[in-house]
Amino acid sequence: MSLLDVRDFTVDLDGEEAPVSLVRELTFSVERGEFLCIVGESGSGKTVAALSVMRLLEYTAPTSQTGQALLDGDDLVAADQEQMAGLRGRKIAMIFQEAMEALNPTKVIGAQLIEAVRQHPGELAASAGSSRRDVAEAARAKAVDLLRQVGIPDPAGCMGKYPHQLSGGMQQRVMIAMALMCDPELLIADEPTTALDVTIQAEILTLLVRLQRERGMACILITHDMGVAAEIADRVAVMYSGRLVEIGAVGEILTIPRHPYTRALLECVPRVGLVGQKELQTIPGSVPHPAMQLPGCRFAPRCHNSSERCTAIEPPLAPVPVQLGTGAGAGGMATALRTSDRLAACWHPETEPLPGEVEVSRQMSDDLAGPPRQAEPYLVLGGVSKRYAASARSESLGSTRTSGGVLAVDSATVSIAKGEFFGLVGESGSGKSTLGRLIAKLEAPTAGSISVGDVSVEQLKGRKRIRDFRRDVQIVFQDTTGSLDPRQTVGRSVSEPLRSLTDVRGEALEARARELLQTVGLPLDYFSKMPSELSGGQRQRVAIARAIACNPQLVVADEPTSALDVSVQGQIVNVLRRLQRELGLTYVFITHNLSLVLSVADRIGVMYLGALVEIADAETLVRAPAHPYTQVLLRANPDPHNPRRRSADGAETPMLGLDSETALVDRTVGCRFRDRCPRRQERCDVEVPELTEKRPGQSAACHFPLV
Amino acid sequence: MAGLVLRRIRDLVIVLFLVGTAMFFIIHLIPGNPAIALLGPYATQEQIADLTASMGLDQPLLTQYVTWLGNLVRGDMGESIAFSGPVLPVIFDHIMPTILLALGSTVISAAIAVPLAIHAAAKPRSLWARLVTPVTAFGLAMPSFWLALVLVLVFGVIFRILPTSGYVDFGTDPGQAVKYLVLPIVVLVSHQAALFVATLRESMSGELLGLYLRSARAKGVKERGVLYRHALPNALLPAITVIGSSFGNVLGGVIVIETVFSIPGWGQLLYNGITSRDYQLIIGVTLMIAVVYVLVNLIADLLYLVADPRVRVR
């Protein structure tokens, strides 16, 4: 019997009117010792399903569930909350996305861990004797032991710390330890690594797999990232609009997706190495709202292969027959398929396997439509630094002290050609966003020079000249809810720069604003809508329209797609690239998403703790990175097209992410990456490496580069 | 933490200077002469002039102010006319009833408000949650002297269960002392508890959205523990500030209540001081109220520091 057996599991949101099914007739099972990943975009119902199995959703939303969910014989649908409290933590535990939010801010870590055992005293009493003191002692010992197991450097000291004193990665480790306090048989992890850097994500995933294998525990991991699923799952379940659309073994799903949505989702993930080859894949349209009644398949309106049958009758989840096209014969993959555990809800399942790793030939990349490499520099940074004062008070007083505080950007030097798509990547805290804000003159650099065209940015004085500069340089931000005025219509937001920076008025202004909406691919009737009526992707289009309103030369795009689903991400990047071709824009594209930047940028600057450590074109970076840090980033990047293989014990070579310790490295002596570097030698401890050219077109700040 | 205390002490000096100065001039703007008030309606013109001169009241106002300020800096708050002695001991003699009323009503209000607020926040569809807004609004809007008079009428005059006015020291007869304090405290609590419930329910409702509560439930904590052990301590944080800054209102309420119930505390002292033009006493009591107010807020800030580890680090 399966550990968790979910059958026809439906979650209804009881509203004023008819109940809305957030999750509909979900059927799947999880075996002991199995790692299942539930993948889907936002709105797919994956988190709702998990929270409802835990019966946690009903505390914050008026939901009810029907169907069946058996956990080792216990009926999770019929149980009351009293019984559920007895199961939660003991047999089924859960970890969440935002560890900082998910830990009580005013309780020390130790108390929060021990509390988990205190709810289920039977768990420890057997081994620890009967007296209360013994149990408390045993609980404490167990907490310290678990903190050690999840990789906290000083477990005993950590017990007395508060959550905010730990870094994001450490907080997530604490969450995991807390979930394991009563040795649950099933662990549900809801996007546990989404808010973390790729390197830390790799660490946490390795840890989860290791713990899962060691304990023979079952795991359900919810993620939007096919790359994550590819790396750790035994089986993958794909959800769309509240339905399970496909489930099967991970290798099969990734290579031969049978449901068109699964396939589209995989194709949307940018392929590293396909630099500037073609438009990024997208899925047209958006996920239908749960309340929307659709008679047929909910994916049909977005599907490239939908028939009348699809729009009339909803396809059930059924075993998919193996009828692969002739191209799939290679390696006997098709014959290895067992139809019984491969299910898809589709009338016309896909038959072609996904293309394997694409080799980009030299010749192809030479045909790139990108700018000539030796074009004259447009944006030139010369030793740009930014130091933030230690406190907000001294910052606002304009402290000019050269020590103390945080050196967010440390002597960045680079020149970017006109019409170039320049990517900036790095972990959080690398200073990439700060550099973007310095370029856009939203903040003033502490030292160094920035010139855009023939304008020296740091010496820009006078209202008119600053206005001229603002016309030429614009910025697009990550968070669209924050960067668009919620009380201004789309039309007003888009025309605002025209009003404040140009003399365009009246009808011409409105005409221009409408033209801009068209340029970014928004319907004209959006002109009078409010930002809250738009989806995230649409809002980002508005932000882009606003940025290009005055025909700028340079656009700084600060993580414009990181809050968006992968299918929408492609749409936004395609818009940006089309504008680049049509308007000759120069981009500084800031992101933490390596797959994305490697597939779209001409050149990429890698930042680490404030400094540019490597600059090269995307292809060179993928094939032969020079700086060990770039290699670390590349290795940590989850890529469903080329998943990292994990050895039997679940752990690859351990890769240490940036944590509070390594971030404190003394940057004035030696290499700032030395504490994390596998190639560290004595010279790295004493001599600061300069950014120098290692090969034509590739510079790195490293004494012992990889090339 | 030491820095905070030092800053607050500096603030206290400034507050005392401003309050004292303002009080000094406001009082002297009021027509009337303490000498006349002191000597009564049958005094002769010479007697009044003599006394005025001996009290220094014939000097120019600015000279009087400088003298007064100089004395204050040396810790001399002047002589009370009504009590014919230094002001400070008089004020300390009357401190107990006021402290009992203010502290007692605050503690009782908090004790009542916590469960009411939690219930209203945790069960937003319950009858109490629907009633809580009008009920607290009523408590806040009702004039305390009116409530005091009604209570006196009902429990003191009609049912004769509780004394209508007066005060018994705890040292002499604790039972009687409590009896005398019941009505005044009920009046104060009705206002304060309403304020606490409103504030705490608001912050509790916000805290109930906290994702850490979901984590607590996920490890099997039962609902009672979720509310009282996890949500409440966090919801109390903003309430601490509100309680601290509402303490000024409490002191204002105490003054009215003491007058209505003839309780010999600072309120009555102030009231008597005003009617008898006892300038030094009025300023003295006002300054002491300012001191208490600043100190209570300092305590609230320190409590916040202890309760919220995130603030402590800064």
Give the pLDDT confidence score for residue A255 in this predicted structure.
87
B105 in any annotated domain: yes
Q: Cα dihedral sign for A140, A141, A144, A147?
A: negative
| pLDDT higher than threshold 80 for residue B214 | yes
Mean pLDDT over B212-235 rounds to 93
B278 in any annotated domain: no
Q: Assess contact for A614 and A626: CB atoms under 8 A.
A: yes
Sort strands A603-608 and A35-39 into parallel, antiparallel or unpaired.
Answer: unpaired
Sort strands A63-71 and A447-452 into parallel, antiparallel or unpaired.
Answer: unpaired
Which residues does residue A319 pair with via DSSP β-bridges, in sequence order?
A343
Better-predicted residue by pLDDT, B310 or A157: A157
> Which DSSP state fits B155?
I
Query: Which among A48, A96, A104, A172 is the top mutation candidate for probing chain B, defined by the most B β-carbons within 10 Å of its own β-carbon?
Result: A104
Give the pLDDT confidence score for residue A400 in this predicted structure.
57
Domain hosting A512: range is 377-619
Give the pLDDT confidence score for residue A129 in this predicted structure.
62
B210–A101: do the CB atoms touch at under 8 Å? yes
A178 in any annotated domain: no
A11 in any annotated domain: no
Contacts of B215 in chain A (CB under 8 A): 94, 96, 102-104, 175, 178
Does residue B86 come out as left (phi exceeding 0), alpha (psi in the -120 to 50 range) or beta? beta
Give the pLDDT confidence score for residue A142 in this predicted structure.
92
Q: What is the mean pLDDT of each run of 10 residues along chain A (707 residues)?
A: 92 85 92 94 91 93 92 92 92 91 93 90 66 83 93 91 89 94 94 87 90 94 92 94 93 90 90 66 83 87 89 89 47 45 89 68 42 72 88 62 76 92 90 93 91 87 89 91 90 92 89 91 90 89 93 93 86 89 92 88 92 91 90 87 61 58 77 88 90 90 90
Query: Which among B209, B212, B312 is the top mutation candidate for probing chain A, defined by the most A β-carbons within 10 Å of its own β-carbon?
Result: B212
Query: E strands of A140-249, at which residues?
Result: 186-190, 218-223, 235-240, 243-249
B234–A106: do the CB atoms touch at under 8 Å? yes
Please tell me which of the candidates B220, B229, B307 has its beta carbon nearest to residue A85: B220
> Which DSSP state fits A121?
T
A73 in any annotated domain: no
Give me the CATH number covering residue A556. 3.40.50.300
Q: Quote the minimal CA–CA distance from A7 to chain B in Å.
A: 22
Residue of A nearest to B229 (CA): A107
How many Å apart are CA A97 and CA B290, to the nearest integer? 48
In whole angstroms, what separates CA A655 from the centre of its chain?
19
> 10 Å Cβ neighbour count for B297?
19
A521 in any annotated domain: yes
A93–B219: do the CB atoms touch at under 8 Å? yes
Contacts of A116 in chain B (CB under 8 A): 219-220
Q: What is the pLDDT of residues B75-122, one digit of tens each?
A: 888 888 888 889 999 999 999 999 889 989 999 999 999 999 999 999
Please tell me which of the candidates A54, A87, A98 has its beta carbon nearest to residue B211: A98
B51 in any annotated domain: no
Residue type, B30: I
B57 in any annotated domain: no
Q: Assess contact for A119 and B220: CB atoms under 8 A.
A: yes
Domain hosting B160: range is 95-264
B275 in any annotated domain: no
- Give chain A's largest Cα–Cα span: 83
Q: Could you tell me how many CB contacts below 8 A there are between chain A and chain B?
A: 90
Give the pLDDT confidence score for residue B45 in this predicted structure.
85
Q: Count of domains in chain A?
A: 1
B180 in any annotated domain: yes
Give the pLDDT confidence score for residue A542 in this predicted structure.
94
- Three-class secondary structure assignment of B202-269: HHHHHHCCCHHHHHHHHCCCCHHHHHHHHHHHHHHHHHHHHHHHCHHHHHHHHHHHHHHHCCCCHHHH
Q: Count of domains in chain B?
A: 1
Q: Assess contact for B203 and B235: CB atoms under 8 A.
A: yes
Contacts of B212 in chain A (CB under 8 A): 101-105
Q: Assess contact for A258 and A350: CB atoms under 8 A.
A: yes
A60–B209: do the CB atoms touch at under 8 Å? yes
Give the pLDDT confidence score for residue A350 in this predicted structure.
86
Give me the CATH number covering residue B127. 1.10.3720
Residues 6+ apart with CB under 8 A from A256: A324, A328, A333, A334, A337, A350, A353, A354
Contacts of A93 in chain B (CB under 8 A): 218-219
What ipTM was predicted for this assembly? 0.81
Q: Quote the minimal CA–CA distance from B170 to chain A in Å.
A: 39
> Which DSSP state fits A270?
P
Q: Quote the minimal CA–CA distance from B215 to chain A in Å.
A: 6
A652 in any annotated domain: no
**pTM listed for this prediction:** 0.84
B22 in any annotated domain: no
What the block records as the tokens of A692 is 């120098």
Contacts of B216 in chain A (CB under 8 A): 104, 115
